[in-house]
């Protein structure tokens, strides 16, 4: 951009900021940058990308600053490049959204450290803000402060934001303690086929919640004073259903026993957070949780969610498919041990550092250095199991990994109806994947990847798998409409570029 254009854009940004009544510091905090950087932008003294202009436009809610925001975001990938150096794993997407929902339990101030700045978090924040919760980024945009109102205003809920995230279902557990009757929109999120919410309803009935689903909303009625009279046995050992039961039990006066509970990473983070709120939870990391609830919670708490094992697996997979030596730092190893054992059997050469504690003081971290390796297909099929088995969300990455291994691998993704189908998008990039049925894919390797232009799959993990294959393919690929990747990863393209990838973000103008 010329200096003249930069000055004109800077003036538009300054006018829009002043119209909203914000200081430069407030805009900087919303963008996760410095006040001096905003000052340079407004004076026209700093080059600014279309993507940054789009972010400023979104932060200021201004149609004036709309350059580069007229269409969906795409990625242009120059593949065949080796990665090197080290890259940190960000905090857990699934833990962060659960903790945002859990903040509704607390009348006090909640501060969450190093929250992932991703679209899924933004959607929950939009919903929380629309019902009267004060949410603001602090400490240069690194941390998040949440202060609920005395009474939430569900009549003003942001319907569009709520429908774009499945996490909205976790509002049921906290809200049943706040009001006797309410409604929230149907849950959305990735297109992964039919996913029943009945396990949630079955668990929450023990707390007096009755839900009917009509006209795009869950209509909830709560019978006051109802508490579980016997252990709750979850009909599905799901992560969000366990979290919902925990959220309901946290402010239920007395003791709640939850059996067949998930012990996965985001559930453990939620349990650690509840303990900060004064709720005693026994059995963390097991399938039986005993929750000693407290009827009222009014505490100022400060909590650091742990790192994301699925992002860690993504980065390990990036190193494998690009035949790179890369150190992935801050890996929550407890939640990747099965995956690493499978990769070791396949012949992956890697080192683990001495373990150390995450910022929450509880989760075990390590640094993994992955080296180029000649891989063989695993003897057994790849299939997920509830923790401590192979993580359900890590299964798709094995489609790309086994595609570069010698031999045939059966991947059985039995949890979701559609996800295995999306993995066959790798065939557009030179993969040899045969869909046996909606849940099973046969992968044959090794693969000679080739560049292609294609639409992003509508599911988060398969979308990232396609991006990783594009990074391995010689030539230039284009992945269109990558909103779904931004739902779960913070600045993934930019961070991969820092370790040697060449990925350009662009929009149709």
Are the CB atoms for 246 and 282 separated by under 8 Å?
A: no
Sign of CA dihedral 344, 424, 445, 320: negative
230 DSSP 8-state letter: S
**Average pLDDT for the chain:** 89
Dist CA 263 CA 283 (whole Å) = 9
Topology agreement, domain 75-90+307-507 and domain 93-303: yes
Residue 187: the pLDDT is: 67
CATH topology for 75-90+307-507? UDP-n-acetylglucosamine1-carboxyvinyl-transferase; Chain (3.65.10)
Residue 293: the pLDDT is: 95
Residue 32: the pLDDT is: 77
Are the CB atoms for 118 and 490 separated by under 8 Å?
A: yes
Dist CA 55 CA 126 (whole Å) = 15
Residue 191: the pLDDT is: 39
Write down the domain spans for the chain: 3-69, 75-90+307-507, 93-303
DSSP state string for 374-408: --B--SSPB---STTSS-GGGTTHHHHHHHTSBEE
Residue 50: the pLDDT is: 67
Residue 71: the pLDDT is: 65
Other beta carbons within 10 Å of 424: 17
Dist CA 115 CA 304 (whole Å) = 8
Q: Which two tokens stand for residue 240?
A: 């969000």
Q: What is the per-residue pLDDT across 281-298, written as a single tens digit (0 to 9) for each?
A: 999 999 999 999 999 999
Q: Which two tokens stand for residue 471?
A: 């990074």
Quick check: pTM over 0.75? yes
Q: Which two tokens stand for residue 250?
A: 């946290």
User: Which CATH number does 3-69 carry?
Assistant: 1.10.260.40
Residue 66: the pLDDT is: 44
Residue 42: the pLDDT is: 86
Residues of the chain with pLDDT under 70: 1-3, 5, 19-20, 50-51, 61-71, 187-196, 509
CATH topology for 93-303? UDP-n-acetylglucosamine1-carboxyvinyl-transferase; Chain (3.65.10)
């Amino acid at each position: 951009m010329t200096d003249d254009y930069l000055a004109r854009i800077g003036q538009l940004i300054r006018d829009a900021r002043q119209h909203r009544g914000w200081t430069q510091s407030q805009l900087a905090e919303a963008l996760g940058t410095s006040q001096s950087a905003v000052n340079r932008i407004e004076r026209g003294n700093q080059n600014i990308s279309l993507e940054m202009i789009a972010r400023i436009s979104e932060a200021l809610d201004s149609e004036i600053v709309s350059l580069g925001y007229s269409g969906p975001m795409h990625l242009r990938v120059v593949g065949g490049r080796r990665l090197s150096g080290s890259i940190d794993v960000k905090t857990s997407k699934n833990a962060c959204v659960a903790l945002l929902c859990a903040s509704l339990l607390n009348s006090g101030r909640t501060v969450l450290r190093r929250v992932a700045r991703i679209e899924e978090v933004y959607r929950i924040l939009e919903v929380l803000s629309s019902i009267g919760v004060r949410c603001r980024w602090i400490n240069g945009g690194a941390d998040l402060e949440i202060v609920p109102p005395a009474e939430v205003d569900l009549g003003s809920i942001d319907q569009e934001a709520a429908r774009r995230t499945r996490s909205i279902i976790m509002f049921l557990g906290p809200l049943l303690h706040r009001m006797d009757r309410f409604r929230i929109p149907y849950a959305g999120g990735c297109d992964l086929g039919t996913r029943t919410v009945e396990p949630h309803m079955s668990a929450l009935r023990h707390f007096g919640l009755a839900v009917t689903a009509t006209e795009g909303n869950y209509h909830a009625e709560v019978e006051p004073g109802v508490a579980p009279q016997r252990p709750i046995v979850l009909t599905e050992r799901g992560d969000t259903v366990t979290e919902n039961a925990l959220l309901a039990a946290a402010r239920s006066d007395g003791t709640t026993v939850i059996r067949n509970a998930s012990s996965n990473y985001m559930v453990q983070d939620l349990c650690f957070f509840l303990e900060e709120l004064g709720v005693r939870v026994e059995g963390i990391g097991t399938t039986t949780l005993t929750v000693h609830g407290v009827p009222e919670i009014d505490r100022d708490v400060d909590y650091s969610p742990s790192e994301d094992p699925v992002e860690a697996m993504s980065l390990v997979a990036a190193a494998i498919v690009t035949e790179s030596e890369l150190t992935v730092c801050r890996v929550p190893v407890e939640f990747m041990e099965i995956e690493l054992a499978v990769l070791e059997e396949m012949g992956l050469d890697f080192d683990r550092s001495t373990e150390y504690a995450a910022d929450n003081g509880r989760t075990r971290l390590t640094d993994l250095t992955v080296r180029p390796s000649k891989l063989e297909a695993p003897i057994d099929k790849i299939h997920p199991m509830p923790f401590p088995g192979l993580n359900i969300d890590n299964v798709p990455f094995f489609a790309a990994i086994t595609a570069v291994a010698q031999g045939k691998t059966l991947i059985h993704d039995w949890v979701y109806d559609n996800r295995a189908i999306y993995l066959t998008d790798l065939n557009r990039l030179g993969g040899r994947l045969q869909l046996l049925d909606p849940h099973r894919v046969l992968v044959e390797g090794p693969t000679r990847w080739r560049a292609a232009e294609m639409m992003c799959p509508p599911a988060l993990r398969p979308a990232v798998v396609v991006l990783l294959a594009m990074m391995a393919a010689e030539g230039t690929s284009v992945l269109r409409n990558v909103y779904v990747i931004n739902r779960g990863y913070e600045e993934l393209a930019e961070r991969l570029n820092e370790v040697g990838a060449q990925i350009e973000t662009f929009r149709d103008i």
